[in-house]
Amino acid sequence: MQNQASRYKPQDSIHLLSCCKIAVYTRYACPAYPAENMGSGQLVTVAASLICLTMIKPLFPDFIPAKGKHSSYSGSFSVSRFAPVTMNQVLFKKQLSQDVFLMRLHAPLIAEERQAGQFIILQTDDEFGERIPLTIADADTTEGSVTIIFQVVGKTTKHLATFEPGDELPALVGPLGKPTHIENFGKVVCVGGGIGVAPLHPIAQALKKAGNHVTIITGARTKELIILEKEMQAIADEFIVCTDDGSYGRKGLVTAPLKELCERELKPDMVIAIGPPVMMKFCSETTRPYHVFTQVSLNTIMVDGTGMCGGCRVNVGKEVKFVCVDGPEFDGHLVDFDNMISRLNAYKEIERNHYKCFVEKAFSEKEQEVRI
């Protein structure tokens, strides 16, 4: 063991610290808050974590799950009930639409502790891969699983979509964030846009269980992108579907029926909107003139999920909040959506290039396999 540990050299910590600084600066920090101005404690903590991983990996190789062989996928499949189950293992996978997938992951401790509104952070690559936050759509304590629903939009979600039942995720952390405050508010309207219907589902469930009259509005660009329709219908006292192209339900945006509900004699006591930032912004602006409290769930750039990196910060009212520890839910009338959207778009070009490289590499490897 001493020989293994002696491989680690003091100068490696300096190299790792530099890597952390560069990574935070280029990927997660905005120009107004460069890495050079970040607290050294934050960077040292990140570096220390990486150092520990570097030292532990050769000493305890069994702690690091082996990389599985993944492939493109369509349909649904699950792990045999007779097969041994390990932590972070994919138990079930189903494709809901062209780029939307549902997975159940073996995470019994997270399943026991999670509450509506909370999320997990995962990695698909144990070689310092990107960490992405995904809301827990459901949990089964009997099976010891949590359900995630995600859309392929970049390199990490593209890689995640190749995982099959039986494969293991290198890292899975949660539950994170503050849970949704649930009580009997009275009349609640839940608005979900696109993939935002997934995190809305457990919240709507909890609100209904608490005795609220729940109206659910779901929207998507087209019929094929509508998800969890039956599950949401089972919860709702009133259910409304909207599509941008009119291929299903009402034609138009979710803000149209939301405005109609606010104009009723008995307007909603509360609105919860989850979806793309622009959608949440305009839902908040729709309810503002009617003084209906509107809660939104934000999905920002996130690294550690514990309030350390500052990558997820948003302006709420006159305060700076961290989505990972102060949220993810905030008063939509106070959120500075323009600033949030600007920060999300700051790295779009880098993300597109990274995604393109990943797809090209996967295609090249597949061609080589066919030749062999």
- Least reliable range by pLDDT among 5-9, 226-230, 245-249, 275-279: 5-9
Write the CATH number of the domain with boundaries 187-297: 3.40.50.80
Which range, 84-88, 94-98, 153-157, 335-339, has the best average confidence (pLDDT)?
A: 335-339
What's the half-sphere exposure (Cβ side, CA atoms, 13 Å) at 215?
A: 19
Distance CA(227)–CA(236), nearest Å, equals 15
- CATH classification number, 76-176, choose in 3.90.180.10, 2.40.30.10, 1.10.3720.10, 3.40.50.1970: 2.40.30.10
List, for residues 80-111, the tens digit of each pLDDT value. 444 556 678 999 999 988 889 999 999 999 99
**Contact present, 240 and 250 (Cβ < 8 Å):** yes
Average confidence (pLDDT) over 5-11: 39
List, for residues 56-67, the tens digit of each pLDDT value. 444 444 333 444
Domain ranges of the chain: 2-63, 76-176, 187-297
pLDDT at 87: 77
**Contact present, 211 and 185 (Cβ < 8 Å):** no
SS3 state at 346: coil
Q: Say if residue 294's pLDDT is above 70.
A: yes
Q: How far apart are the first and last CA of the chain?
A: 40
Distance CA(99)–CA(332), nearest Å, equals 28
| Residue 366 pLDDT class (50, 70, 90 cuts) | low
Whole-number average pLDDT of the chain: 79
Q: Say if residue 9's pLDDT is above 70.
A: no
pLDDT at 108: 93
List, for residues 224-262, the tens digit of each pLDDT value. 899 999 999 999 999 999 999 999 999 999 999 999 999
DSSP state of 154: S
pLDDT at 297: 94
How many angstroms separate the Cα of 72 from the Cα of each of 89, 131, 202? 18, 21, 29
Task: List Cβ neighbours of 240 (8 Å cut-off, separation of 6 or more).
Answer: 215, 216, 217, 218, 249, 250, 257
pLDDT at 335: 94
* AA identity, residue 64: I
List, for residues 176-217, the tens digit of each pLDDT value. 999 999 999 999 999 999 999 999 999 999 999 999 999 999
* AA identity, residue 330: F
Please report the DSSP string for 82-132 in residue order. TS---TTBEEEEEE-SSSEEEEEEE-HHHHHH--TT-EEEEES-TTTPPPE
- Determine what percent of the chain is predicted with pLDDT higher than 90: 55
pLDDT at 58: 45
